Amino acid sequence: MEIDQITGAIVDASMRIHTALGPGLLESVYEACLKHELSKKQYEVRSQVWLPVVYDGMQFDSGYKIDLLVEDLVIVELKVVERFLDVHQAQLLSYLKLSRKPVGLLINFQCRPPAAWDQKNDQSPSESSASSVAVGRT
């Protein structure tokens, strides 16, 4: 399956959820709804996936968890915040590096309506607004 098709389906489902429920609910609610929407479309979706850190040949289970992993390719990190901070973008980029997955989306449900931040091939992220969907690529 093509990555652009998967990420498009994730963004479309996020918009449908946001339109139906609006901003301000708990992150766990949006996570459950997004998993449901994507599963209805026959995507393989795993939630709260442990992400170990490997250093010096040792694996450390350090408590990192990916909100959603779609088709074992796309990391989805969900937020309900006024605006993305650098630490949110750094978290996504770190998850991409640690997992060696090709693409990640950072989706903020506290916004109206989502706009896009696109980070490709290790370029610096542009300024993100209060309402955002961020895309990271390795």
Q: How many CB atoms lie within 10 A of CB 132?
A: 23
Q: Let me know: does 102 contact 73? Beta carbons within 8 Å.
A: yes
Q: Tell me the C-alpha to C-alpha distance, in Å, between residue 92 and each of 3, 58, 81.
A: 17, 22, 15
Domain range summary for the chain, segments of one domain joined by +:
3-137
Tens digit of pLDDT for each residue in 63-72?
899 999 999 9
pLDDT at 126: 38
Angle, alpha carbons 82-86-89 (nearest 5°): 95
Q: How many CB atoms lie within 10 A of CB 21?
A: 13
pLDDT above 70: residue 73: yes
Angle, alpha carbons 4-7-9 (nearest 5°): 105
pLDDT at 83: 84
Strand partners, 70: 45, 74
Average pLDDT (2-28) is 94
pLDDT at 111: 77
pLDDT at 87: 92
Using the structure block, give the residue that is written with the tokens 């901003």: 23
H-run or E-run covering 87: helix 86-99
In terms of pLDDT, which residue wins out, 72 or 114?
Answer: 72
Q: How confident is the model at residue 133 (pLDDT cuts 50, 70, 90)?
A: low
pLDDT above 50: residue 131: no
